[in-house]
Amino acid sequence: MILFPAIDLKGGQCVRLKLGDMQQATVYNTDPAAQARSFEDQGFEWLHVVDLDGAFAGHSANGDAVETILKATDNPVQLGGGIRTLDHIEAWLSRGLRRVILGTVAVRNPALVIEACRKFPGHVAVGIDAKGGKVAVEGWAEASELGIIELARKFEGAGVAAIIYTDIDRDGILAGINWTSTLELADAVSIPVIASGGLASLDDIRRMLEPDARKLEGAISGRALYDGRIDPKEALALIQAARTKETA
């Protein structure tokens, strides 16, 4: 079980959005590299990064900031936002990124995702962002007719490293993870699922460690960490205790 701290990039700064609205962005740090180092120093093992501008533009828009992050931390980094081609995937992986997250292209061109998994095994994740139970694309600006599980099942057996599932209706408002929908997705596919959107407190961490949620790879935390609602030391201690219990 992994707790992924999030760095969302807008204009080269670390921000958090409210309900996916680019006009409701709170700046938390103007130095993404320093934020990445801080998360590593706190004991986190991974880093989740989203190029928000890139997600809307359809191409990398915060590449310089991402590169400073990669140089600043030894932690593995997964990146989503505007990654739409095989060349783009290869370019990022060659710079030291551990995982690319494919969202819009997973809806528009699932064959490309399958090909990427074949070419870069273990390095491709799929981002499924949902609003009202339907998959959203283009930086959450457009809704599709696809259901969450319907899309996820397109990639069964393809070698997708993980599915990052975000409930947009909860993102950035500290409403708590949508456990019902997240666990339904995890039950429906064999691909590891990472919960995202709304993680609010240590109660969500404790819920993540319950037996029925152990099938998840972990969860992503943004605003709750930045606002101090979750103490990193306490959260990571809970996760470590659960790991120790599992291996005992």
- Report the catalytic residues: 8, 129
Distance CA 122, CA 100 (A): 10
Distance CA 73, CA 100 (A): 17
Distance CA 226, CA 41 (A): 15
Asked if 152 and 188 touch (Cβ cutoff 8 Å), the reply is yes
Structure-block tokens of residue 71 = 């140089």
SS3 245: helix
Asked if 38 and 26 touch (Cβ cutoff 8 Å), the reply is no
